[in-house]
Amino acid sequence: MRFVIIGYGLLSSLIYESLKKKKKVLVLSRFKKSKHSLTNKDFFYYDINNLDQIEKKIKKDDIILFSAGPSEFELSKLNKKKISEYLYFYNEIIKLCIKVKVSQFIFFSSIKVYSKSKIYDEQAVTKATSKYSLLKINCEKIITNYYPTTTKFKIIRISNVFSEPLIFNKNYENLLIPSLIKSSLIKKSICLKNPEICKDFLTFHDFNKKLIKVINDKDINQMKVYNVGSYNSISILDISLLIQKIIYKLYKIKINLRFPNRDKTTLIFNTKFLFLRTKSKINNLEIAITKLILFLKDHYKN
């Protein structure tokens, strides 16, 4: 079994580090230079306009983890032409994978494809509420155009995964938990516009365990969608209070919390798959946030 990761951002770089310990892994990235060191054996640069390069790298029975794509921050700056080019590339990659007969094609989607609702399971209605969710929904729809095939298609709709990064850039600082910690460490305060809005936060450690379960799910005779989250609904206020508590414990620094308004929503992010239903432990969340605070404290000190 060999894994091929297409795209090399925060999540895929962490997955690579985890998989390479026991599995053969190839990373395909459109970036020539990566801040994270990879051996030439594991890393290959591709030109988005030259798919023949990729065809030579992908083999029969490979498991494809497709995480390539613009972040929300990047997408806000892209015009329609660039978005169309991305969708064309994505479509061609799927056709290539079917031709080569890879065993699985796993697309990294997002919890943000769901319309506003209190309960999100895999049967919930999807609705584009932003350019980012529209792009993910369109990518999911493209997969349905090619089924059935010998390739097993799996879509994972991922909640808010966080971890200390291997690749640090502005995109990372725009993520919710890193932005809250950055504000705490630099401004000694957090401004919460919607403190009681609840979200599903998932540590990378827990995400990785559930990803492996999805990969190992053999009972599949059609395209499947999996919600991958902690299945714990936590408000942004509670996350901020946890950050406040940890920073005071570590550095005796008091963080001021400000609330311009108190809009409140509830969220239940769940899954129909029994093997994914194990809820992440709150203690895992605190440990992961502590590690991230220590990482960012050292980063901003430099």
For residues 82 and 219, membership in a common domain is answered with: yes
Asked whether residue 126 falls in the same domain as residue 168, the answer is no
Q: What is the mean pLDDT of residues 37-44?
A: 75
Kindly state whether residues 16 and 75 are assigned to the same domain.
yes
Residue 273 has pLDDT above 60, yes or no: yes
* 216 DSSP assignment: T
pLDDT at position 190: 95
Q: Which residue has the tokens 């770089």?
A: 13
Give this prediction's pTM.
Answer: 0.93
Asked whether residue 190 falls in the same domain as residue 248, the answer is yes
Pairing of strands 233-235, 198-203: antiparallel
- pLDDT > 90 fraction of the chain, expressed in percent and rounded: 70
- Token output for 41: 């054996």
Q: Going by DSSP bridges, is the β-strand pair 224-228/268-269 parallel, antiparallel, or unpaired?
A: unpaired
Distance CA 36, CA 174 (A): 20
Tell me what pLDDT residue 36 has.
Answer: 53
Contact 209, 252 (CB under 8 A): no
Instruction: Say if residue 93 is in the same domain as residue 186.
Output: no
Type of residue numbered 243: I
Q: What is the pLDDT of residues 72-108, one digit of tens each?
A: 889 988 999 999 999 999 999 999 999 999 999 999 9
Total domains in the fold of the chain: 2
Boundary-marking domain end, from 193, 211, 228: 228
Token pair recorded at residue 91: 């479509």
| The pLDDT value given to residue 287 | 96
Confidence of residue 261 (pLDDT cuts 50, 70, 90): low
Distances (CA, A) of 16 to 22, 167, 185: 11, 12, 30
Could you read off the pLDDT of 107-157 as tens digits, one per residue? 999 999 998 766 789 999 999 999 999 999 999 999 999 878 889 999 999
CATH number of the structural domain spanning residue 82: 3.40.50.720
- Provide the pLDDT for residue 148: 82
Per-residue DSSP letters for 84-125?
Answer: HHHHHHHHHHHHHHHHHT-SEEEEEEEGGGBPS-SEE-TTSP
Nearest to 237 by CA among 177, 199, 275, 192: 192
Residues 282, 188 share a domain: yes
* Whether residue 89 is found in the same domain as residue 131: yes
Q: Where in the sequence is the domain holding 258, given as residue range(s)?
A: 163-201+231-301
Are 11 and 118 contained in the same domain?
yes
Task: Return d(Cα 99, Cα 39) in angstroms, integer.
Answer: 28
What pLDDT is attached to residue 169? 81
With a cut of 80, say whether residue 196 has pLDDT above it: yes
Pair of tokens at residue 164: 């200390």
Q: Tell me whether residue 241 is exposed, middle or buried, using C-beta atoms within 10 angstroms of its C-beta: 0 to 12, 13 to 18, 19 or more.
A: middle
* CATH code for the domain of 192: 3.90.25.10
CA distance 3 to 15: 10
**One domain, residues 11 and 94:** yes
SS3 call for 16 = helix
- Residue 152: what pLDDT? 94
Question: CA 136 to CA 110: how far, in whole Å?
Answer: 7
Instruction: State whether 116 and 194 are in the same domain.
Output: no
Mark whether 192 and 217 lie in a shared domain: no
Are residues 73 and 86 part of one domain?
yes
pLDDT higher for 64 or 174? 64
